[in-house]
Structure 1
Amino acid sequence: MPRVLVTGFEPFAQDTYNPSWAAAQLLQDDPPDGMEVTAVQLPCVFGESLKVPREAVLETDPLLVVSLGLSPRDGISVERVAINVNDCPIPDNAGHQPVDEPVVADGPVAYFSTLPLKRCVAEVQKQTALRSEVSQTAGTFVCNHVFYGLMHLLATEDKQRRGGFVHIPHTPEMPAAANQSVPSLPVEDTARGLRVVLSTALAHDTDIAVPAGATH
């Protein structure tokens, strides 16, 4: 049975809950048919957050690795590109705040996701009616740090693994959503959409040619 590794983050700052980790656990407990999902939690800390997935990849030997992160978006955002820069407006959970530093010294400027992004988005919309999009930026905080570090690991090891990053919304009970400052989605619905992402990514290694870009 194909093995899939899914990562989610610990709670950040004052939050006591992170939907990315809750969703990863739901995927492990109730995976899509025909696959075995292992969920691992990442610290929201520069550097440390790259050690955990590296060890988990070596331990579980997955065909597919998908990292999840929280963002104030109104649907499932499948990220296109990770860039080799840490530039942080706020500190991480350990108080680190790197500015204009590379994720990997002497690494490429960027890595593209190796997920079939547009196909995943289309299937989520078709099968669940949830909002989904291709995102053109994962930011320059810990999410992008993990995304770039993951893609660098997959690109430099002698395996044919594929991987990428997906941003998911807040849940309705989180403070930022409860005061209506950000969109929200119940984590069970998010997990339902993510199951489609995993199934589609595992079944297809080529994408579809449909518009999913941005003008700004």
Structure 2
Amino acid sequence: MRKILLTGFSPFAAETTNPSWDAVVALDGAIVDGAIIVSLQLPCEFDRSLQVLEQAIQQHQPELVLSLGQAGGRVDVTVERVAINVNDARIPDNAGQQPIDTAVIEHGPVGYFSSLPIKAIVEALHEQGIPASVSHTAGTYVCNHVFYGLMHLLPQYPTVKRAGFVHVPYAPKQAAAHPGMASMAVTTMTKAIRLIIETSLHTAHDIHVSGGITH
């Protein structure tokens, strides 16, 4: 059976939960357009995250890989446009590593673009009443590390037709501990992920609409 690989991260930075994983694991085993979803938790660690991801790609040979991460402070589902070849960690990862001004892949290109139909995805989410936008930075922490590493791996795995990264806000119980921060219900995130998958499978060419931001 065709497979779709979804990944979310383990909790980090003193959080006890990570909505990227909570939203992803809810779809484990679900069938979308004849493809079965495999959900995988990645460690929030620079070194191990890509090792675990590549092992899963080797094992499952998915046609679509969608990785998700938590972006506390963001107000909506943000579909990432580009990954950059930089690690610059403001805090240590869960293994105590804090790379600063290093490359994700030595001698790799400056960046990679997502192969998801990012603007069609945002439009589809809006049509279902889910706040969403295109993001032009995945940061320089483990999320960007995984996004860049994923796109760098793709030439080795031709079964993967599309791949990309999406950030989600805090879950409500996290935002309660961070006054003033936005939140989104995990069930809404899970609905968004399913819509992202469906749009990615059904959209051959992205739509041509403005997705630029000034901040």
TM-score, normalized by length of structure 1?
Answer: 0.94
Aligned to 1:121: 122
Aligned to 1:80: 81
CA distance in 1, matches of 2:178, 2:96: 27
Aligned to 2:182: 183
CA distance in 2, matches of 1:187, 1:158: 32
Aligned to 2:9: 9
Deviation of 1:3 after TM superposition, in Å, equals: 1.3
Aligned to 2:18: 18
CA deviation profile, 1:13-69 (whole Å, cap 9, x unmatched) = 211111111111112154545331000110000111001110101111110000000
Structure 2: gaps of 5 or more residues: none
CA deviation profile, 1:164-197 (whole Å, cap 9, x unmatched) = 00001111112x4444331101100110111100
TM-score, normalized by length of structure 2?
Answer: 0.94
CA distance in 2, matches of 1:77, 1:43: 21
CA distance in 1, matches of 2:11, 2:150: 20
Deviation of 1:160 after TM superposition, in Å, equals: 4.8
User: Does the 8 Å contact 1:81/1:113 carry over to 2?
Assistant: yes
CA distance in 2, matches of 1:179, 1:15: 11
Residue range with higher mean Cα deviation, 114-123 or 205-214? 205-214
**SS across alignment from 2:133:** strand
Displaced runs of 4 or more, over 3 A: 29-34, 155-160, 176-179
CA distance in 2, matches of 1:200, 1:24: 17
Structure 1: gaps of 5 or more residues: none
CA distance in 1, matches of 2:20, 2:34: 22
Is 2:145 the counterpart of 1:145?
yes
User: Does the 8 Å contact 2:61/2:159 carry over to 1?
Assistant: no
Aligned to 1:112: 113
User: Does the 8 Å contact 2:23/2:187 carry over to 1?
Assistant: yes
Query: Which residue type is aligned with residue 126 of structure 2?
Result: Q
Aligned to 2:155: 155
**SS across alignment from 1:36:** strand
CA distance in 1, matches of 2:40, 2:146: 13
Query: Which residue type is aligned with residue 87 of structure 1?
Result: D
CA distance in 2, matches of 1:208, 1:180: 37
User: Does the 8 Å contact 1:147/1:165 carry over to 2?
Assistant: yes
User: Does the 8 Å contact 2:80/2:137 carry over to 1?
Assistant: yes
Deviation of 1:206 after TM superposition, in Å, equals: 1.2
Is 2:40 the counterpart of 1:67?
no
**SS across alignment from 1:28:** coil
Aligned to 1:103: 104
User: Does the 8 Å contact 1:50/1:150 carry over to 2?
Assistant: yes
- Alignment root-mean-square deviation, CA: 1.4
Percent identity (aligned): 48
CA distance in 2, matches of 1:115, 1:177: 33
User: Does the 8 Å contact 2:116/2:200 carry over to 1?
Assistant: yes
Aligned to 2:197: 198
How many residues are treated as equivalent by the alignment?
214
CA distance in 1, matches of 2:3, 2:191: 19
User: Does the 8 Å contact 1:31/1:195 carry over to 2?
Assistant: no
